[in-house]
Amino acid sequence: MSNDFTSVDAFIERWKPSRGSEMANFQSFAAELTDLLGVERPKPADSDGTANDYRFERPVTFTHTGRGNRGRIDLYRRGCIVMEAKQGGDRQTPRNADRLTLTQMCNLLEKLRTGETIEGKDQEIYEQGLVGILRDIHDRIDAAVAEAYGWPVDLSDEEILFRLVDLNKERAAEEPAGHIRWLRPDYQNPQGRKSEAKGKQVELAVGTAETVTKAPWPKTLPEQIARRFQPARTASVAPLLDSLAAIGQAQVTDDGRYAA
């Protein structure tokens, strides 16, 4: 490695203000970096791009959750480095980034999953939408969900659908038998009580029935309020009685009491 720190500082100052796209800058950056480190530059690519052991844009097949997809490594050297460039710093908003839509990103994500080669406008969408990161997040979620269900991670959509239908039937048969799978047992069933199977008569301890005679409901508004708040604190009833007095439905006596 070069010990010329002046050259290192000059290299940093040269590339610090970089605001261009990764495709526009990376190969020049990497070539100058190899010069600074005192190592040879990447070699020219061969005709099909598969034999070089040290090159830019090395074709490769990525495997995510059991699915193979074609892509490229920004800089590859066999047994040494795999470098993927990402534009850093306070990046400027890419041209036409405001026109990027979620539909475009999802469509491109599907192309990646089916192994289509990404180029042209799709490559621009890939970079602007950070679709590679989006795909990695989706793959991680898929893997986590599969693990939670105890299923293989590489099931097809059809296989997942059949398994979900079977699981739904299984759960539907459990609940009538009293097997409830609480989502939040500490909140929904804090006592840990077991559910009774549906259709089974539950015996209750019932005492002697008492006959209760209801008193007739008062006809006048003041009497209804008095019944409603009996017994009640004065502070709760007084504002209502003041309102009744204000509209002529009650009277205030000399000793501060209310009369209908």
pLDDT in tens, 58-68: 877 766 545 55
Residue 195, in any domain of the structure: no
Provide the pLDDT for residue 236: 65
Tell me the β-bridge partners of 55: 76
Residue 214, in any domain of the structure: no
Q: Are 79 and 20 part of one and the same domain? A: yes
Q: Are 1 and 88 part of one and the same domain? A: yes
Q: Are 51 and 33 part of one and the same domain? A: yes
Tell me the C-alpha distance between 127 and 109, whole Å.
Answer: 12
Residue 200, in any domain of the structure: no
Q: Are the C-beta atoms of residues 69 and 138 closer than 8 Å to each other?
A: no
Q: Are 82 and 13 part of one and the same domain? A: yes
Smallest Cα–Cα separation from 57: which of 85, 33, 79?
85
Q: How many domains does the chain have?
A: 4
Smallest Cα–Cα separation from 152: which of 230, 65, 51?
65
Q: Are 75 and 2 part of one and the same domain? A: yes
Q: Are the C-beta atoms of residues 104 and 127 closer than 8 Å to each other?
A: no
Residue 240, in any domain of the structure: yes
Q: Are 32 and 79 part of one and the same domain? A: yes
Residue 101, in any domain of the structure: yes
Residue 14, in any domain of the structure: yes
Q: Are 22 and 84 part of one and the same domain? A: yes
Burial status of residue 14 (CB atoms within 10 A of its CB: 0-12, 13-18, 19 or more): exposed
Tell me the C-alpha distance between 11 and 22, whole Å.
Answer: 17
Tell me the β-bridge partners of 67: 64
Q: Are 147 and 168 part of one and the same domain? A: no
Residue 100, in any domain of the structure: yes
Q: Are 79 and 136 part of one and the same domain? A: no
Smallest Cα–Cα separation from 85: which of 120, 126, 43, 38?
126
Provide the pLDDT for residue 1: 47
- Segments forming the whole domain that contains residue 11: 1-92
CB atoms within 10 A of CB 124: 19
Query: Could you say which residues of the chain have pLDDT below 70?
Result: 1-6, 20-22, 47-51, 62-70, 87-98, 197-215, 220-237, 260
Q: Are 112 and 178 part of one and the same domain? A: no
Q: Are 37 and 77 part of one and the same domain? A: yes
Provide the pLDDT for residue 161: 92
CA-to-CA separations, 90 to 29, 85, 87, 128, 134, in angstroms, rounded:
18, 15, 9, 15, 21
Which pTM was predicted?
Answer: 0.39
Q: Which of 63, 92, 121 is the last residue of a domain?
A: 92
Q: Are 100 and 151 part of one and the same domain? A: yes
Q: Are the C-beta atoms of residues 69 and 113 closer than 8 Å to each other?
A: yes
Residue 13, in any domain of the structure: yes
Dihedral, CA of residue 250, residue 255, residue 256 and residue 260, to nearest 10 = -20
Q: Which of 92, 112, 135 is the last residue of a domain?
A: 92
Provide the pLDDT for residue 222: 61
Q: Which of 50, 65, 92 is the last residue of a domain?
A: 92
Amino acid letter at 239? P
